[in-house]
Amino acid sequence: MPNILVDLPKGALTAEQRRALVDGLNQAAAEAEQIPAQLQKRALCWVLINEVEAGHWTCGAVDMTSQILPCRAVVYVPAGVLDESARADYVRLVHQAFERAKPAEDKRQLMTSVIVQDVADGTWGANGAIWRLPQFAAAAGFAHLQGVAAAV
């Protein structure tokens, strides 16, 4: 049940390619977090794409976007959902989602930065209330945490 915030250069992807990226990010979340293939469970994966204006993304104080395609994803997940292996898989899968969405004709090198951020238990608010891991596990259906979900 992640919130995934994506930054990429404005105009880097067409509407169809953005949809492919969103699909890939949802698949990455489902696999890494072990979310079942049920619409009500998968609907809890929120993706927000922010397109950064030309000249507003620099590397070493230089706008390198003519040479590289920088893409960043910050993935917020409830603490306790991911172990070290799942976290590594998540980063790999998010990178692959960017690779698949990148236009074939775009010859720039893809450079991704993926940050997986655990949100401490008791600090994530949803619908006006604080949620804890058991509520997230029940709502998202994390396959590996159904014992925790039973506590709801």
pTM here is: 0.95
Helix (H) or strand (E) holding 136: helix 133-140
Other Cβ atoms within 10 Å of 149 Cβ, number: 17
Say how many domains are in the chain.
1
In tens digits, what is the pLDDT along the chain, a chain of 152 residues? 899 999 999 999 999 999 999 999 999 999 999 999 999 999 999 999 999 998 898 888 998 898 999 999 999 999 999 999 999 999 999 999 999 999 999 999 999 999 999 999 999 999 999 999 999 999 999 999 999 988 77
pLDDT of residue 46: 96
41: containing domain: 3-149
**What CATH code is carried by the domain that includes residue 7?**
3.30.429.10
